[in-house]
Amino acid sequence: MAERVLLVGVTTPFQNHAVVDNHLVELKDLVLTLGYEVADRFIVNRKHISPALYIGKGKVQEIKRLISMLGIHEVVFDDDLSPTQLRNLEKALNIEIRDRSGIILEIFANHARTKEAKTQVELASLEYLLPRLTRRWTHLERQIGGIGVRSGAGETQIEVDRRLIRTRISKLKKELNKIDRERETQRKGRNSFFRVALVGYTNAGKSTIMNILTKSDVLIEDKLFATLDTTVRQWKIDKYHHVLLSDTVGFIRKLPPNLVASFRSTLQEARDADLILKVIDISNPNCTDHLDTVNEILIELGLFTIPSLTVFNKIDGMDTDLFSQVKRDHPDGIYISALKHLKIDDLRSAILGKLRSEELTLDITVPLANSKAIAILRDNSMIVEQQYLDGSVTFKCLCYRRVWNWLRQRLADEIDVLND
Ligand SMILES: Nc1nc2c(ncn2[C@@H]2O[C@H](COP(=O)(O)OP(=O)(O)OP(=O)(O)O)[C@@H](O)[C@H]2O)c(=O)[nH]1
Ligand SMILES: [Mg+2]
């Protein structure tokens, strides 16, 4: 039988009932992704957050009654609880308590497939667990496994566990540094391409867009955080324009900060992008909040200054009033349905427009004897025409500004440029 869960949200003077209710709908999706059953939702009104219990004692008693009445196995809070609040609530309710971060971390732990994703998730989970170790045995410990070891003389079990976790954390950080360096080498080999990165809210359709544009078969699922790794594919927009398109891990409101930090190397592809596509599900009534969250995370990652396009996906399932409102606020947005293949040409032309604004048409002359310079040019630009004359070849080529800055330094004395 699936575990029965009670969801708890808290309104404050800054968050009204409707907003909290929306957040609980999203929390429900997160909990369902883990295969649990949601027995009920419970909203508490508070003026101040209690440092000891988060909510008031009276509400704790009400929740206690609900637990026995509805046969609840676990209570999940939408807001992040401090280690003290978690401990006190568990004691008062005598049941396992989790918060949104704990749930997100468990989903990531379940979905991680590659060594990189597994290492990143384990690091973030251990950092989350460290201050909460005095709790009862948690799902997260079960996911990570094997941290409990018998204590030595004079050392309590908790002290042993903390020491082991710290050692493991530093080992994982070293492993991630190594993975970072490997990725760096891979990226250097792809310097000449225009790079487009799909980022956005989880379940918005990023992998679906990747698949239709590049004819790939990245995993698509109607669940949150199906993708945890970065996939890069070549996409031939037309005869002269080939770009590298990347699909990566999705964002969500209140993504735990240590998860964002440990996924830095996965998100590196977006860091190096010439263009970011922010993908938002317009069939979701909270789509504008989703866009705010995506922008906040991009700011946090230092990626907000990269040129971007906002892509509203799933127009096949949208509400027309919401559409008019969003379209008014985002007239430059691209509105598509990846699943139904609607308006994909709008997306293609918008990307092509951005790319052309970064493209130079150059006439470059190289002596025929300089085969090395000719090879570098061929590898890093798109040759449109070539003319041979007096032992030299003149290329008309298309080259991105960023790539050209790099090429010019490399080939400075070996080529003659007519129209730089
Ligand atoms: N109705 C509708 N559904 C879509 C559209 N595009 C994608 N979907 C569905 O949305 C769900 C999520 O799609 P994905 O492509 O996996 O989304 P994602 O952004 O990669 O999600 P994560 O990797 O989990 O962050 C799948 O069930 C898709 O079939 C669309 O245009 N319309
Ligand atoms: Mg995906």
The CB of 231 under 6 Å from ligand 1? The reply is: no
Q: Where does the chain hold its CATH 3.40.50.11060 domain(s)?
A: 4-106
Closest ligand by atom to 250 CA: 1
| Ligand 1 centroid – CA 322 distance (Å) | 19
- Ligand 1, residue 219: give the atom nearest the CA: 16
pLDDT of residue 291: 97
| DSSP letter, residue 188 | H
188: its two tokens: 């250097």
**CA 19 from centre of chain:** 23
Specify the residue with its C-alpha closest to ligand 1, atom 21.
Answer: 203
What is residue 149's predicted lDDT score, i.e. its pLDDT?
43
Locate tokens 């594919």: which residue? 233
Establish whether residue 337 lines the binding site of ligand 1, counting it when its CB lies within 6 angstroms of any ligand atom.
yes
Which of the ligands is closest to the CA of residue 226?
A: 1
Residue 137 is predicted with a pLDDT of: 47
pLDDT for position 75: 97
Phi then psi for residue 205, to 5 deg, are 110, 20
Q: Are 214 and 351 in contact (CB under 8 A)?
A: no
Among 335, 337, 339, 344, name the best residue to mutate to test ligand 1's pocket (greatest count of ligand atoms within 8 A of Cβ): 339
CATH architecture, range 190-356: 3-Layer(aba) Sandwich (3.40)
Domain with CATH 3.30.70 in the chain: 359-417
The Cα 380–Cα 242 span in angstroms is: 11
Q: What is the pLDDT of residue 144?
A: 56
Its CATH class, for the domain covering 4-106, is alpha beta
Residue closest via CA to ligand 1's atom 7 equals: 205
Span(s) in the chain for CATH 3.40.50.300: 190-356
Mean pLDDT by 10 residues, the chain (420 residues): 92 88 95 95 92 93 96 95 92 93 93 91 92 62 50 64 89 92 74 90 96 90 89 91 93 90 83 95 95 94 94 96 95 97 97 94 92 90 92 92 87 75
pTM: 0.89
- pLDDT at res. 132: 84
Task: Write the CATH number of the domain with boundaries 359-417.
Answer: 3.30.70
Q: How far apart are CA 154 and CA 335, in angstroms?
A: 64
Nearest ligand, measured from the Cα of 211: 1
